[in-house]
Structure 1
Amino acid sequence: MAIIRSIIEDMRSRSHRVAVVVDKEEEKVVVGDSLRQSCWANMPQELLREVLLRIEASEDTWPPRKNVVACAGVCRSWRVITKEIVKKPELSSKITFPISVKQPGPRENLIQCFIKRNRSTQTYYLFLSLTSSLGDDGKFLLAARRCRRPTCTDYIISLHADDMSRGSNNYVGKLRSNFLGTKFTVYDGQPPHAGANITKSRSTRLVNLKQVSPKVPNRDFTVAHISYELNVLGSRGPRRMHCVMNSIPASSIEPGGEAPTQTEFSFNSVDMFPLFPFFRSKSNRVDKSLSGPLGDQKDGKLVLKNKAPRWHEQLQCWCLNFHGRVTVASVKNFQLVASAENGPAGPEHDKIILQFGKVGKDLFTMDYRYPISAFQAFAICLSSFDTKIACE
């Protein structure tokens, strides 16, 4: 493994060298690098596969797993074989590449993550838990920023902690709420599956005071609707929520069922979108999907509902078993399971698909599993942060 690590370090050091020739001595260095790169690219396929298999098996946790990502960046042949070797989170329970946050989690266990909130900047950061301790640094996955508008609230979700521009290649999707904060829609920045419907929107937008050009095909795809029941009687208790996953069939939780899986980012490619004219509209327009009922959207789609808590007589509060992952009582805490909308409930409806809870003033845990992705789970949890006067 020492030889393998030296190869990786050699690749990294070469990628940071400046390829500007100033004199004859630097020219020799650049030529030498080019020759060595061709040698690594032309390694026998059988030997290369064996090397990459050993790296993938040994570097199975972060931060050492960054070596697997480094191998995919060496050259085209290394990238192709690395992508074949590295399994999706559904099969490996590992998050390796950026696209992993858009792929469903494992079927048999929960991927443990946590969310850090920055109140001053209205930003939220999702990290992958590296240990069982709630105080570790974690592996950064996604970031979101809250943007308050006259009639709604947007949460822009990005792959980069400091780049929240909707016109950037780091843009993943967004969460939008209605005025009351009782209904939310999750949008994906690229098609979640073949035949996905495009959400028509304004030709230009202002995100963090940055205008996105109409030439950039910023079109979103609706992937989920989240609704919180109104508390008209003012009774105390946990929130009740329903999540209609537009892009996931209800059969996905059954044995042999499958959920759509994205394999790569499109990076706002113009070629993947059909051309149609842009239309201007008022800046305070709210999508119709936020105001209408959700009942007609549930047919054939996976519906998640919060698991009913039990009343604890001694503690005089509502309780859920988070198995030590949640330590602070909060109205934001929830566990989501599949709702039996189209038939009798089975054992698959008892599995917790997503759980979210408070462990500190601005620290929350988020654990998810198949058939939802880290991006979808993060968006659902962001809806819990929004103020809901009518639900409490």
Structure 2
Amino acid sequence: MNKPTSNPGPRDAPIQCYIKRDRATSIFRLYFGLTPSEDESDKLLLAAKKTRRATSTEFLISLVADDFSRASSTYVGKLRSNFLGTKFTVYDSQPPSDEAFKANHSRSSRRFHTKQVSPRLPACNYNIATITYELNVLRTRGPRRMNCSMTYIPISSIQEGGTAPTPKSFPQENPPLSLPSVKSDTVSKDSLVLKNKSPRWHEQLQCWCLNFKGRVTVASVKNFQLVASVDPSHNVSDAEQNKVILQFGKIGQDMFTMDYRYPLSAYQAFAICLSSFDTKPACE
């Protein structure tokens, strides 16, 4: 079942989670763990509520599953789409600290556990990532193609000896949820960009295939694996470039797995996966 080793390396230990979708309420719940269990009350990491507007779709993200008010101390941020559902922006409600801003995106982690909620300032919108789905103009067969520009995570985070705002090793009981962000509407040339890992066409099955190592069991256009998209000038090893940083896939009618690793946080990974739940007829 692709379980983490007892002493995982700093960059090689994926955090394995799963997402439950409630169609009736349009609520998505992110749980920490390998597989769904009967007692999930203490495993909830984040929850999101999907709302449709005239020109966009929004996912409001909270630390709890019954309060999505922006005025609440449990409100984390939101994901907003454009009209076509081809571009999404991830917003964090936490304003950047002056020290973090001056240090050019250097920051410490926050909210390591759902019960540890610090006093919050009024909710604001700070752009921390942009997710773009490519239009499938020629209607070619294959999975959706996407790119995720992480506004404040530097490419250097995956270079030898590099660091990122997230811890290099994740406590298995309290994975990091979110981080302070820098207010920015543009992506630096040194920001980390994630792209789809290219699937292989399986002649016998007549479908596009990716190796999810048993973590995904149902074929779906929503399934994806993301790896770093890096220019050769950045001197990132092939092994690091081929490493799956985030994978998401279907295991049941309304059940999905989400496995992420350094340098992403749970909030960033969850928001990227939520974008897959919006309808995108022009991309399929």
Q: TM-score range by the shorter chain?
A: 0.7 to 0.9
2:215 alignment partner AA: R
Question: What is residue 109 of structure 1 aligned with on the other side?
Answer: 13
Question: What is residue 237 of structure 1 aligned with on the other side?
Answer: 142
2:269 to 352, 355, 377: 377
Q: Assess if the C-alpha contact under 8 Å between 1:334 and 1:356 holds in 2.
A: yes
1:319-364: CA deviation from partner (whole Å, max 9, x where unpaired): 0000000000000000000111362652211111000000000000
Provide the C-alpha distance between the structure 2 equivalents of 1:369 and 1:391, rounded to a whole number of angstroms: 27
| 1:356 maps to 2:248 | yes
Question: What is residue 338 of structure 1 aligned with on the other side?
Answer: 228
Secondary structure in structure 2 of the residue aligned to 1:359: strand
Secondary structure in structure 2 of the residue aligned to 1:179: coil
1:195 alignment partner AA: F
Provide the C-alpha distance between the structure 1 equivalents of 2:177 and 2:225, rounded to a whole number of angstroms: 30
1:191-242: CA deviation from partner (whole Å, max 9, x where unpaired): 467118xxxxxxxxxxxxxxxxxxx632121110000000001112111100
| 1:255 maps to 2:160 | yes
In structure 2, relative to structure 1, the CA distance for the partners of 1:192 and 1:351 (3 Å cut) is farther
The residue correspondences of 1:263-342 to structure 2 (distance < 5 A) are 297-341=187-231
- The count of residues paired between Structure 1 and Structure 2 equals 243
Percent same amino acid at aligned positions?
A: 63
- Structure 2 alignment gaps of length 5 or more: 1-6, 103-120, 168-175
In structure 2, relative to structure 1, the CA distance for the partners of 1:265 and 1:107 (3 Å cut) is closer
Q: TM-score, structure 2 length as denominator?
A: 0.79
Q: CA deviation at 1:255?
A: 2.1
Higher relative helix content: 1
Q: CA deviation at 1:183?
A: 0.3
Higher relative strand content: 2
| 1:168 maps to 2:72 | yes
1:128 to 32, 42, 55: 32
1:12-44: CA deviation from partner (whole Å, max 9, x where unpaired): xxxxxxxxxxxxxxxxxxxxxxxxxxxxxxxxx
Provide the C-alpha distance between the structure 2 equivalents of 1:340 and 1:109, rounded to a whole number of angstroms: 21
Q: CA deviation at 1:178?
A: 0.3
**CA-based RMSD:** 2.6
Provide the C-alpha distance between the structure 1 equivalents of 2:270 and 2:177, rounded to a whole number of angstroms: 19
Q: Assess if the C-alpha contact under 8 Å between 1:253 and 1:348 holds in 2.
A: yes
Q: TM-score, structure 1 length as denominator?
A: 0.58
Q: Assess if the C-alpha contact under 8 Å between 2:16 and 2:32 holds in 1.
A: yes
Q: Assess if the C-alpha contact under 8 Å between 2:178 and 2:266 holds in 1.
A: no
- Structure 1 alignment gaps of length 5 or more: 1-91, 94-104, 197-215, 267-287, 290-295
Question: What is residue 130 of structure 2 aligned with on the other side?
Answer: 225
Q: Assess if the C-alpha contact under 8 Å between 2:49 and 2:68 holds in 1.
A: yes
Q: Assess if the C-alpha contact under 8 Å between 1:186 and 1:223 holds in 2.
A: yes
Higher relative contact order (CA 8 A, sep 6+): 2
Q: CA deviation at 1:365?
A: 0.1
Secondary structure in structure 2 of the residue aligned to 1:242: strand
Q: CA deviation at 1:297?
A: 2.5
| 1:183 maps to 2:87 | yes
Provide the C-alpha distance between the structure 2 equivalents of 1:329 and 1:191, rounded to a whole number of angstroms: 39
1:143 alignment partner AA: A
Question: What is residue 115 of structure 2 aligned with on the other side?
Answer: none
Structure ID, larger Rg: 1
Question: What is residue 53 of structure 1 aligned with on the other side?
Answer: none
